[in-house]
Amino acid sequence: MIVTLYSFLNDILYKKTGKLLDKKENEAELKPFMLQRWISMYKSKSGYSLIKFLNQTTNKLYKAFETKESWYRILSVIVPKLRYEKLSYVKKKQVSIDPKKNIDDVIEYLAKDKMISKREVRLYIEEYGVNIDAVKRSLRS
């Protein structure tokens, strides 16, 4: 059987066998960071979430887990057995700029994106002679 990240997720969240790392070649497939990230995305229909639980346990005690096997064992033990629910990957929503919008909207978008003030964006545009139409085209694609 080919072991993937999802095999580890299924075992930790739903099956609770704890036997996937019995074979040493499976250890290469275990990525603790990604495993914990996906576990934190579990949210049941009743609103139960594992984010606070992980923050209070494994995130604070990560230095104690020196090997991948210790990560796997502790997650298998401390995460409760859950009902199967599809895990949805949470993505950041893409903000698109309509190229027909005015310059102020583009400046506002750039200020948010680069985490600088609108005044600084205007200053960069004036100082460096930025072609605002080129910026609009690049934001459109």
Please check whether residue 94 lies inside any domain of the structure: no
pLDDT tops 60 at residue 100: no
Q: What confidence category does residue 119 fall into, taking pLDDT thresholds of 50, 70 and 90?
A: very high
If asked whether residues 58 and 119 sit together in one domain, one would say: no
Structure tokens at 111: 């200020």
Please check whether residue 126 lies inside any domain of the structure: yes
If asked whether residues 54 and 113 sit together in one domain, one would say: no
If asked whether residues 61 and 19 sit together in one domain, one would say: yes
If asked whether residues 67 and 109 sit together in one domain, one would say: no
Question: Residue 133 is part of which domain span?
Answer: 103-140
Domain count within the chain:
2
If asked whether residues 73 and 114 sit together in one domain, one would say: no
Helix boundaries (H) for the chain = 5-10, 32-40, 51-56, 68-78, 103-114, 118-128, 132-140
pLDDT of residue 91: 67
- Are 87 and 34 in contact by the 8 Å Cβ rule? The answer is no
If asked whether residues 58 and 114 sit together in one domain, one would say: no
Please check whether residue 42 lies inside any domain of the structure: yes
Please check whether residue 136 lies inside any domain of the structure: yes
Could you tell me which of 78, 77, 111, 85 has the C-alpha nearest to residue 97?
111
If asked whether residues 65 and 126 sit together in one domain, one would say: no
Q: What confidence category does residue 42 fall into, taking pLDDT thresholds of 50, 70 and 90?
A: confident
Please check whether residue 93 lies inside any domain of the structure: no
pLDDT tops 80 at residue 55: no
Please check whether residue 88 lies inside any domain of the structure: no
* Three-state SS at 24: helix
* Three-state SS at 84: coil
Q: What confidence category does residue 120 fall into, taking pLDDT thresholds of 50, 70 and 90?
A: very high
Q: For residue range 56-95, what is the model confidence (pLDDT) as tens digits?
A: 777 777 778 888 888 888 888 888 888 887 777 666 666 6
